[in-house]
Amino acid sequence: MKIVGTVVAVQANFYRVRLDRVWEGHQFLLCTRRSRLKKIGQKVMVGDRTIVEEPNWQEGQGAIGAIVPRTTCLERPPVANAEQILLLFALEEPTLDPWQLSRFLIQAESTSLTPRLCLNKRDLIDKERQQEWAVRLQKWGYDPIFISVAQEEGLEDLEGVLADRTTVVAGPSGVGKSSLIGKLIPEVKLRVGEVSGKLQRGRHTTRHVELFELPRGGLLADSPGFNKPDLVCDAQELVQYFPEARSRENGCQFRDCLHRDEPNCSIRGDWERYEHYLLFLGETLARVEMLQQRPDEETTVKLKIAGSGKREYEPRLESKKYRRESRRLRHQTLQDLVEEAEEEED
């Protein structure tokens, strides 16, 4: 019988694999990658479904022999087989900003994963304002879940959406992501005191992802890596990332239309986020132009659009502030595992 499991963390050349069932007392194995996978250049990602070979039950180790074909593959953060992206925002503190929300939504829409919207801190605004947001976001094509992590409200609904699925959590800093994950997976919080500061290094770089198991089944990827909505897409594609425009009845009759000032364009019009569309379109076009001029600077140049006045809203999870805050969340990585194994040997 094949030993099948899911990669829940990657560090250097080691993969922590959670087995589908307990084998010989092991739920997890620390694995390397078989050289034949290396030879064919097969990368192993968090979320990958793998067949483990050569188990060494004594040591809790094994080797990944094969990867099951992926259903989805997210690049940033690198996560395989995730089904949805949970965008978490706060209604207040920080005040929900439609432009920023739009950016995250569009970034999520540009992946093959399903975006889910969740609005936290509902304890800070009254029912009427919640209702206003619900109506407004419905027009955008979304049906947000309103929660309060602090008051433990709405969490059941959210847990229902997360159960038995792999979800990538994203959102700006300060909205309650750490609090939420700590609430959903109490074991994450428990680990806080256990891990020494030295081990924290490298954990919250953008490339680092880890999957956590939800008590009701399903996996949660906590990573700072998703959130750099730099809208890398084709200008022609952008409109598809707005559900309310996507669903505009006749679409647009013109093939190369950017839905800007083309006469008789049916997308151009009276929907609330049309102005978001125009701004993001301008950025996308400017970005393409810039890359054409200086291809080498892609990663270092921050896009500026003269006169737009909205560029502050660019969420950048790699910002120092975010990294500092997310360190509060401490959990086990392969590094711990390797060190624990070493300690046991001593």
Residue ranges binding ligand GDP (CB under 6 A)? 120-121, 123-124, 148-150, 173-179, 325
Name which of 36 and 246 has its Cβ closer to Zn ion. 246
What's the min distance (Å) between Cβ of 258 and Zn ion? 7
Residue 177 binds what, of ligand GDP, Zn ion, none (CB under 5 to 8 Å, by partner type)?
A: ligand GDP
Structure tokens at 20: 């589908």
Residue 173 binds what, of Zn ion, ligand GDP, none (CB under 5 to 8 Å, by partner type)?
A: ligand GDP
**Interior/surface letters 108-140, b for 16+ CB within 10 angstroms, e for the rest:** bbbbebbbbbbbbbbeebeeeeeeebeeebeeb
Per DSSP, the three-state class of 18 is strand
Question: Which window, 4-12, 123-131, 251-259, 296-304, contacts Zn ion (CB under 5 A)?
Answer: 251-259
Question: With binding defined as CB under 5 A, does residue 239 bind Zn ion?
Answer: no
Q: Looking at residue 250, what DSSP letter applies?
A: T
* β strands within the chain, DSSP E: 3-11, 14-23, 26-33, 49-56, 61-67, 73-74, 79-80, 84-90, 114-120, 145-146, 166-170, 210-213, 219-222
Question: With binding defined as CB under 5 A, does residue 228 bind Zn ion?
Answer: no
Size of the site for Zn ion (CB under 5 A): 5
- The amino acid that residue 83 corresponds to is E
Question: Which window, 62-70, 74-82, 230-238, 245-253, contacts Zn ion (CB under 5 A)?
Answer: 245-253
Structure tokens at 254: 């013109």
What's the min distance (Å) between Cβ of 172 and ligand GDP? 7
What's the min distance (Å) between Cβ of 147 and ligand GDP? 7
* Of 181, 267, 279, 337, the one binding Zn ion by CB under 5 A: 267
Assess contact for 51 and 31: CB atoms under 8 A.
no
Question: With binding defined as CB under 5 A, does residue 305 bind Zn ion?
Answer: no
Let me know if 70 is exposed, middle or buried by CB neighbors in 10 A (0-12, 13-18, 19+). Answer: middle
Residue 252 binds what, of ligand GDP, Zn ion, none (CB under 5 to 8 Å, by partner type)?
A: Zn ion
* Of 124, 150, 155, 265, the one binding Zn ion by CB under 5 A: 265
Question: Which window, 170-178, 194-202, 250-258, 289-297, contacts Zn ion (CB under 5 A)?
Answer: 250-258
**Interior/surface letters 34-51, b for 16+ CB within 10 angstroms, e for the rest:** beebeeeeeebbbbbbbb
Per DSSP, the three-state class of 264 is coil
Residue 267 binds what, of ligand GDP, Zn ion, none (CB under 5 to 8 Å, by partner type)?
A: Zn ion
* Of 4, 73, 134, 257, the one binding Zn ion by CB under 5 A: 257
Question: Which window, 97-105, 208-216, 258-266, 279-287, contacts Zn ion (CB under 5 A)?
Answer: 258-266
What's the min distance (Å) between Cβ of 239 and Zn ion? 8
- The distance from CA 240 to its chain's CA centroid, rounded to whole angstroms, is 20
Phi first, then psi: what are they for 9, rounded to 5°?
-155, 150
